[in-house]
Structure 1
Amino acid sequence: MTQADFIIIGGGIAGASTGYWLSRHGRVIVLERESHPAYHSTGRSAALYTAAYGTAQVRALTLASRDFFDHPPEGFCEHPLLTPRGEMTVDFNGDPAELNNQYLSAKASVPEMQLLSADEACARLPILRREKVHGALYDPSASDIDTDALHQGYLRGIRRHQGQVHTNHEVLGLQRDEQGLWQVQTNGQTFSAPLLINAAGAWADQIGAMAGARRLGLQPKRRAAFIFAGPEGLDTHHWPMLVSLDESFYMKPDAGMFLGSPANADPVEPHDVQPEELDIALGIYQIEEATTLSIRRPTRTWAGLRSFVSDGDLLAGFDPQVPGLFWVAGQGGYGIQTSPAMGQASAALVRGQPLPEPLTRFGLTPALLSPARLG
């Protein structure tokens, strides 16, 4: 049996970031079922940093994470974690009231947010069909996130502090003994620790149930994406991400190509999700309707899982009924951009410590993060 201070189930962005900050306070063991971490969600994300979307809690976590992205610790990564991208949200349906509502909402957390005329929007993104554009929002602070560098930086930090990351370790049994130690049985061996962190992503409810907890109603949702070639003869690397105001699609430059998505959110059971042909076709259609691009055939397609609880907020806190069980779940597509704040918050709360001052400055409290809020 291998003993630790903290056992984390799930090696995606939630488990890795929590383990990164916990590892300096005790021995961390991360158990990942797949052959490599970040397989189902983290590794399939469009990975944009923007504080313009999400609930008030999500925006606060995003803003509280910015300093880490801008100034990661020495040795965390070899290159900057953020690359300026910009994001333009375009009204293609002639809905000025909704455009203004989103502008006012976004400006509260992104003071740089701009309201653009149709001509200004087309000047920033020349592939837009002018007759389809009714106005736009522009967020100059939106940035691409180097997801791999971020995730690997977290995992390296765990190992640097004598923590362990075990892949191909599916959890088969969970039991808390009379001494208050969790016994975690995997297909490889047994691990023991007083504190168990459930960061199993779309499978968090299943892991919670194995530990004797009530399910929190976590709902995984499928989102499809694809890579396609851009127009020849144009320098597109500086173009902003394009998002439709009605959230019917998005696209952005990606390593000399373009990443597109129908921005779907289809409820599914947790599994190794694959893209539906209809979703890809719909995304291509929406992009071709809004722009002058012609997409012959995507070079790659995939789908990922984004998992939500009922209020759309993220979870970080002890289970209300099961001692020693801590949830980090419900990232809902915001897990990467909020991971610095969520990792710090989770590591503090697991240890019974108050939230760090940089987080409370943005109005975050343990109650806002706790699964107990779900009733």
Structure 2
Amino acid sequence: MSLRFDIAIVGAGMAGASLAAECARAACTNGAKLSIALLEAEDAPGYHATGRSAAFWEECYGGPEIVPLTLASGSYLREGGFLGRRGALYLAREGDEGALDRFEGRFADTGATFSRIDRAALESRVPGLRAEWDRAIDQPDCADIDVGGLHAHYLGLARKGGVTLLTRSRVVAANRSADGWTLDLAGGDTLSAGTLVNAAGAWADMLAQIAGARPLGIAPLRRTVVQLQTDPAPPADMPLCLDINGGFYFKPENGRLWLSPHDETPSAPCDAAPEEMDVALAIDRLEAVTTWKPLRVERKWAGLRSFAPDRLPVYGFDPQVGGFFWFAGQGGYGIQTAPAAARLGAQLLLGRPRDTMTERLDADLYAPSRFAP
């Protein structure tokens, strides 16, 4: 089989699916005909990072440079019904005043909503909190994200816009000519495209090498999540709780607790699996925060979050290899920023003007040219 497309997007997780949907939408809006292939190496889209996310929309997650993408995505997510109010608390103890001050200083002018609260306010929101945890940063607008619903939404929009989804289509070779790209797929099929988009997540640098582009140092890091039965069960309306020093986070989920040790273990691109040491570490850190009794680990899983060296996403055309577009390095915030990131990515890819969602975003901040030697 040999097919010809205008654009081939490699990776059908949240990044690739959202970008494909936005490209199709932009083409339809302008009355243009644009053929797009969305290539997925696995049997179904979203098997890796997207399908394993304990995602939340938290305004400060990812740092000050990510806040504009997060805030710009908020209205789309709320209006689409993908957010459920949760609230978040960055928990702290005596001796953490410096960390609290640094947090407030970093995010003071970003537009994020937060305030500092004391022990009295904490006790009513996190029952069983140990006495030494006596202060916090409160973020009232934090929300849970319906990750599966959002991913399905973008896949549906892409399909409606004429995007062709090809699963079991791992790219094994990519050759550039005057006519564009010829892609060899595992299994023997070939595909041609004018533009090749790298939305391959943990495999982004690997795809770049296949295409003859310089890898940018996008590193996959393993993150572990545990579903835990506790006594007592966490209240359904309890906020997301995070360590101000980055040692843990946990939140309630259907009468259980979703808990992570906030690990970032370097990993090769792979089907990530949790390590027992990380599971034990997560439980140990929970017991240092609350008086709850862990009863049983019901589920445990791990996913790979991929970061560029400066921990900012990479959106834009490669400065050296023509027709090669980066849409990668979105770390752990790729889902909460998906609407604005995909809209911006489509505008950069297709040469379209900004709109009200993206007009305040600094595309140069995320451009791959920042890594040029």
Q: Same fold (TM over 0.5)?
A: yes
Q: TM-score range by the shorter chain?
A: over 0.9
* Structural mapping, 1:352-363, within 5 Å: 352-361=351-360
Could you list the per-position Cα deviations for residues 220-273 of structure 1 after superposition, in whole angstroms to 9, with x for gaps in the alignment? 1111111012434x6711110111111111100112211000001111111111
Cα distance in 2 for residues equivalent to 1:47 and 1:82: 10
**What residue in structure 2 maps to residue 370 of structure 1?**
367
Say which SS state the counterpart of residue 300 (structure 2) adopts: strand
**What residue in structure 1 maps to residue 82 of structure 2?**
81
Cα distance in 2 for residues equivalent to 1:326 and 1:356: 21
What is the count of residue pairs matched by the alignment? Answer: 363
Q: Which runs of 4+ in 1 moved over 6 A?
A: none
What code does the residue aligned with 1:177 have? S
Say which SS state the counterpart of residue 109 (structure 2) adopts: helix
Could you list the per-position Cα deviations for residues 196-234 of structure 1 after superposition, in whole angstroms to 9, with x for gaps in the alignment? 1010000000101111100101111111111012434x6
**What residue in structure 1 maps to residue 191 of structure 2?**
191
Could you list the per-position Cα deviations for residues 71-106 of structure 1 after superposition, in whole angstroms to 9, with x for gaps in the alignment? 23xxxxxxx100000001110353112113213433
**What residue in structure 2 maps to residue 243 of structure 1?**
242
**What residue in structure 2 maps to residue 114 of structure 1?**
115
**What residue in structure 2 maps to residue 272 of structure 1?**
271
The answer to whether the aligner puts 1:224 opposite 2:221 as a matched pair is no
* Structural mapping, 1:273-352, within 5 Å: 273-352=272-351
Contact 1:53–1:106 at 8 Å: present in 2 too?
Answer: no
Contact 1:225–1:261 at 8 Å: present in 2 too?
Answer: yes
**What residue in structure 2 maps to residue 59 of structure 1?**
67
Cα distance in 1 for residues equivalent to 2:166 and 2:353: 30
Q: Residues 107 and 366 of structure 1: is their aligned pair in 2 closer, same or farther, counting only changes over 3 Å?
A: closer
The Cα shift of 1:3 comes to 1.5
Contact 2:10–2:39 at 8 Å: present in 1 too?
Answer: yes
What code does the residue aligned with 1:23 have? A
**What residue in structure 2 maps to residue 168 of structure 1?**
168
Cα distance in 1 for residues equivalent to 2:205 and 2:301: 24
Contact 1:171–1:184 at 8 Å: present in 2 too?
Answer: yes
**What TM-score do you get using the length of structure 2 for normalisation?**
0.94
Could you list the per-position Cα deviations for residues 5-60 of structure 1 after superposition, in whole angstroms to 9, with x for gaps in the alignment? 21100011110111010113212111100111111111111211011232333111
Calculate percent identity across the aligned residue pairs. 37
Say which SS state the counterpart of residue 60 (structure 2) adopts: coil
Contact 2:7–2:37 at 8 Å: present in 1 too?
Answer: yes
Cα distance in 2 for residues equivalent to 1:60 and 1:21: 19
What code does the residue aligned with 1:119 have? A
1:35 to 37, 43, 46: 43
Cα distance in 2 for residues equivalent to 1:235 and 1:9: 40
Contact 1:355–1:366 at 8 Å: present in 2 too?
Answer: no
Contact 1:55–1:312 at 8 Å: present in 2 too?
Answer: no
**What residue in structure 2 maps to residue 158 of structure 1?**
158
Q: Residues 16 and 119 of structure 1: is their aligned pair in 2 closer, same or farther, counting only changes over 3 Å?
A: same
What code does the residue aligned with 2:352 have? Q
Say which SS state the counterpart of residue 15 (structure 1) adopts: helix
* Structural mapping, 1:140-151, within 5 Å: 140-151=140-151
* Structural mapping, 1:9-24, within 5 Å: 9-24=10-25
Say which SS state the counterpart of residue 294 (structure 2) adopts: coil
The answer to whether the aligner puts 1:46 opposite 2:54 as a matched pair is yes
The Cα shift of 1:115 comes to 0.7
Cα distance in 1 for residues equivalent to 2:177 and 2:249: 49
Say which SS state the counterpart of residue 223 (structure 1) adopts: strand
**What residue in structure 1 maps to residue 130 of structure 2?**
129
* Structure 2: tracts of 5 or more residues without a match: 28-33
Cα distance in 2 for residues equivalent to 1:231 and 1:167: 43
Could you list the per-position Cα deviations for residues 142-166 of structure 1 after superposition, in whole angstroms to 9, with x for gaps in the alignment? 0000000000100011110111111
Cα distance in 2 for residues equivalent to 1:256 and 1:4: 47
Contact 1:55–1:313 at 8 Å: present in 2 too?
Answer: no
Contact 1:88–1:136 at 8 Å: present in 2 too?
Answer: yes
Cα distance in 1 for residues equivalent to 2:235 and 2:356: 40
**What residue in structure 2 maps to residue 101 of structure 1?**
102
Contact 2:59–2:112 at 8 Å: present in 1 too?
Answer: no
Cα distance in 2 for residues equivalent to 1:266 and 1:277: 13
Cα distance in 1 for residues equivalent to 2:254 and 2:324: 41
Say which SS state the counterpart of residue 293 (structure 2) adopts: coil
Report which of the two has the higher share of strand: 2
What code does the residue aligned with 1:295 have? P
Alignment RMSD, CA only? 1.5
Could you list the per-position Cα deviations for residues 274-326 of structure 1 after superposition, in whole angstroms to 9, with x for gaps in the alignment? 11100000000000111011113210011110111111111110001110000
Contact 2:261–2:285 at 8 Å: present in 1 too?
Answer: yes
**What TM-score do you get using the length of structure 1 for normalisation?**
0.93
The Cα shift of 1:111 comes to 4.9
Cα distance in 1 for residues equivalent to 2:47 and 2:37: 18
**What residue in structure 2 maps to residue 4 of structure 1?**
5
What code does the residue aligned with 2:103 have? Q
**What residue in structure 2 maps to residue 76 of structure 1?**
none
Say which SS state the counterpart of residue 168 (structure 1) adopts: coil
What code does the residue aligned with 1:264 have? D
What code does the residue aligned with 2:371 have? L
Say which SS state the counterpart of residue 124 (structure 2) adopts: helix
